């Protein structure tokens, strides 16, 4: 039997525990069904509740504890709700969400992968019929860029105050994220081919490719990193003649995401620009209720990757059993597929979970259902 894969489950705040509960229920079903060597431990941190009791969002040795696991399955961090309670214990966003950034940084989870595919049954926000073909994979650089948190405030509180916020782009991180984008483009095309789906993307010389990588920058204004990204992209693209290339400026990309999102395949963007683009991409593919997200370290097997839906803690519906666990379940499916790199049966289980969630979505398009009802229906599908 394969070595046991261990998950640190961190439900977090708000709807986090509710949606994580359904993920665990599905994982349990799959573990039994496939005899998966999978184990998990639940942690009460990071969370508002832990902060209220201990004065910090997580213990000082939190990362050391998490490092012993193969992955972290995180629910949500932020305002725990309910909004109706004005006296609830509430931290500022920068404090409550800091653990997320600490994990990404501490475990060098340098890829943030956010697929945006409009599946049958998901809400279609765009009226254009071609929206049904939306199938993007946004790869966000997750280790540096605008998120290095370097800078400071001078003469704070005076009229002469100055705030600086530095952006750092290294050639090493640039190369690895761009190369990862090309690799994913190939993988996506191969997966589509297996399912009998094909897509066509035009190259500059007029030929067509089955996949594409679109690099997004703001190189007309932010020229130093923009130029470095462009050069790295051109160089690395030579190793992938089968993948079409494209570039968009981030402002134009926002416009085109709305105007013709079906024209995109793999998209590579910087940390902040990728953050913004993935909220937009999530809506294009049905909204936050269905958008998965993975923070991956593909290079160091000793570092856990972190799987969390793109959505937040949804304080407006927290504790009411109304949260849609779909995004969390798609995220858990991707986590299993990630484990599949070492243990093929995990990939099978991940695909099954994806298919069950997708089938449930297709069958119940728009129906009002509670968190548990959705989780139960999906588990039944898994055990059928």
**Minimum distance from residue 200 beta carbon to ligand IPM (Å):** 31
Residue 291 binds ligand IPM (CB under 6 A) = no
Q: Which stretch binds Mn ion (CB under 5 A): 43-51, 188-196, 227-235, 267-275?
A: 267-275
- Rounded to an integer, what distance in angstroms lies between the CA atom of residue 123 and that of residue 275? 21
Residue showing the smallest CB distance to ligand IPM in the complex: 97
Question: Contact with Mn ion (CB under 5 A): which of 275, 308, 337, 360?
Answer: 275
By CB under 6 A, residue 275 contacts ligand IPM: yes
Q: What whole-number distance in Å separates Cα of residue 379 and Cα of residue 357?
A: 9
Q: Measure the CA–CA gap between 318 and 51, rounded to whole angstroms.
A: 18
Angle of helix 371-383 relative to helix 344-363, nearest 10 degrees, comes to 120
DSSP, residue by residue, 199-260: --EE-TTS-EESEEEEEEE-TTTSHHHHHHHHHHHHHHHTT-TTEEEEEEEHHHHHHHHHH-
Q: Is 296 in the site for ligand IPM (CB under 6 A)?
A: no
Q: Is the dihedral of CA 103, 108, 112, 113 positive or negative?
A: negative
Q: How far is the CB of 298 from Mn ion (least distance, A)?
A: 21
The least CB distance from residue 101 to ligand IPM, in Å, is 6
User: Cβ of 161: how many Cβ atoms within 10 Å?
Assistant: 10
Q: Which is nearer to Mn ion, 70 or 308 (CB)?
A: 308
Which stretch, 76-84, 219-227, 273-281, 348-356, contacts Mn ion (CB under 5 A)?
Answer: 273-281
Distance CA 357, CA 360 (A): 5
Instruction: Considering the complex, state which of residue 77 and residue 185 has its C-beta at the smaller distance from ligand IPM.
Output: 77
Task: Specify the residue, 119 or 282, whose C-beta has the smaller distance to ligand IPM.
Answer: 282
CA-wise closest residue to 181 among 226, 223, 244: 244
Q: Is position 343 an interface residue for ligand IPM (rule: CB under 6 A)?
A: no
138 touches 281 (CB < 8 A): yes
Count interface residues toward ligand IPM (CB under 6 A).
4
142/371 with CB nearer ligand IPM = 142
Measured between alpha carbons, how far is 251 from 239 in angstroms, rounded to an integer? Answer: 28
Site string for ligand IPM, 38-77 (x = CB under 6 A): ----------------------------------------
CA distance 147 to 261: 27
Binding mask 88-127 for ligand IPM (x = CB under 6 A): ---------x--xx--------------------------
Binding interface with ligand IPM (CB under 6 A): 97, 100-101, 275
């Amino acid at each position: 039997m394969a070595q046991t894969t261990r998950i640190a489950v961190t439900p977090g705040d708000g709807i986090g525990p509710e949606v994580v509960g359904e993920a665990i229920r599905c994982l349990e079903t799959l573990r039994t069904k496939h005899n998966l060597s999978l184990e998990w431990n639940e942690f009460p941190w990071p969370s508002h509740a832990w902060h209220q009791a201990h004065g910090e969002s997580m213990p000082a040795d939190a990362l050391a504890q998490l490092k012993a696991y193969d992955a972290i399955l995180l629910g949500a961090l932020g305002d725990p709700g309910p909004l109706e309670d004005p006296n609830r214990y509430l931290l500022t966003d920068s404090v409550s969400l800091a653990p997320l950034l600490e994990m990404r940084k501490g475990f060098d989870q340098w890829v943030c992968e956010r697929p945006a595919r409009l599946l049958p049954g998901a809400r279609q926000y765009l009226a254009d019929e071609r929206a049904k073909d939306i199938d993007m994979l946004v790869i966000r650089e997750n280790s540096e860029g605008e998120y290095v948190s370097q800078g400071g405030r001078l003469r704070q509180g005076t009229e002469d105050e100055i705030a600086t916020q530095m952006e750092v782009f290294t050639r090493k991180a640039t190369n690895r994220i761009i190369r990862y984008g090309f690799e994913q483009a190939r993988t996506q095309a191969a997966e589509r081919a297996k399912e009998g789906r094909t897509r066509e993307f035009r190259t500059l010389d007029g030929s067509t490719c089955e996949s594409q990588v679109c690099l997004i920058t703001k190189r007309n204004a932010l020229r130093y990193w923009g130029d470095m990204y462009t050069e790295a992209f051109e160089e690395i693209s030579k190793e992938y003649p089968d993948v079409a290339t494209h570039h968009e400026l981030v402002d134009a990309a926002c416009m085109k995401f709305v105007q013709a999102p079906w024209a995109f395949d793999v998209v590579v963007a910087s940390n902040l620009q990728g953050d913004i683009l993935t909220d937009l991409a999530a809506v294009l593919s049905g909204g936050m209720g269905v958008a998965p997200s993975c923070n991956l370290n593909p290079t160091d097997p000793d570092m856990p990757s972190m799987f969390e839906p793109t959505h937040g803690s949804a304080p407006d519906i927290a504790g009411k059993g109304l949260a849609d666990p779909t995004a969390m379940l798609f995220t858990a499916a991707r986590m299993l597929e990630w484990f599949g790199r070492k243990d093929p049966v995990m990939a099978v289980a991940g695909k099954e979970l994806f298919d069950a969630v997708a089938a449930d979505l297709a069958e119940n398009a728009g129906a009002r259902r509670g968190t548990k009802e959705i989780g139960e229906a999906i588990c039944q599908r898994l055990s059928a």
